[in-house]
Amino acid sequence: MVVARDPGRVEALREAQAKALMLFEDVVARGLIVPGVGERELSDQVRDLAAEMFGPPECRAAGRGRRPRGRGPPAGPRADHRR
């Protein structure tokens, strides 16, 4: 068993779990899972329903190695690549 040490993370995971359960219950109640509907189409419907229920998803990857828009690498050759 893995023990989470960050109370904020634990709460966020519990909230995500509750949202997933509500979303799945709504998917079933609306009858979205039916024969003949492809996986991609169903995925799009579930995504749209989740956005309707909970708003757009948060982007948590922005701070992990990605640069803000308009900030690319410095112009010109890099000193560490010269031989």
- Report if residue 76 sits inside a domain: no
Residue 39, domain member (yes or no): yes
In a domain, 15, yes or no: yes
- What's the pLDDT tens digit per position in 42-77? 999 999 999 999 998 876 665 555 555 666 565 656
- For residues 17 and 3, the answer to whether their CB atoms sit within 8 Å is no
The answer to the question of residue 73 being in a domain is no
Q: How many domains does the chain have?
A: 1
Which residue has 């803000």 as its token pair?
68
| Side-chain half-sphere exposure of 52, counting CA atoms within 13 A | 10
Residue 23, pLDDT > 80, answer yes
Range of the domain at 27: 8-55
Contact, 24 vs 49, CB < 8 A?
no
Q: Is the residue at 69 inside a domain?
A: no
18 domain residue, yes or no: yes
Q: Residue type for 36, please?
A: G
CB count in 10 Å sphere of residue 23: 15
pTM tops 0.85, yes or no: no
